[in-house]
Amino acid sequence: QVQLLESGGRVVQAGDSLRLSCVASQESLSMYTVGWFRQVIGKDREFVATVMDTGTTYYGDSMENRFTISRDNAKNAVFLQINSLKPEDTAVYYCAATRRIGARTNQNNYDYWGQGTQVTVSS
C-alpha cells in the first residue's frame, strides 16, 4: 500500500509563502486522488485541496486563491503552495490518498494518510 510523507512545514511570518510536499513510497501515486487537509488542535479536520489522477483540482470554499495544489508523477509527489500566509493558516497539514471514485472533499473517502507537517504562521 502507498505510504505518504509530508514535509515543508515550518514557522513563517504572515505574508510569507510556503510549499508543502507529499512524497509517496511503496507505490506510484499516479493512479490516486491526493488531497491536503489541515487540522487545528480541538477543531475538525478541514479540507484544503485535492488533485485527481486526471489532474483536475478542487479547493475548499474558504481557501480563497492562496492555495495551489499540483502533482509531479515523475517525482511521485504532490505539492501544496500556500501564498500570503495568515496566522489562521496555522495547523498540521496532512496529505491523503485514495483510489475511490469521486472522493474529493470528504476525508472519510481517503484511505491512506501521512503523519502531517506543522505550519505555524506568526503575526
CB 115 within 8 A of CB 23: no
**Cell 501515486, located at residue:** 29
Q: What is the pLDDT of residue 71?
A: 97
**3-class secondary structure for 8-54?**
CCCEEECCCCEEEEEEEECCCCCCCEEEEEEECCCCCCEEEEEECCC
Is the pLDDT at 70 greater than 80? The verdict is yes
* For residue 58, pLDDT beyond 90: yes
Cα–chain-centroid distance for residue 122? 20
* pLDDT beyond 70 at 23: yes
Amino acid, res. 54: T
Condensed to tens digits (0 to 9), the pLDDT of residues 24-44 reads 999 999 999 999 999 998 999
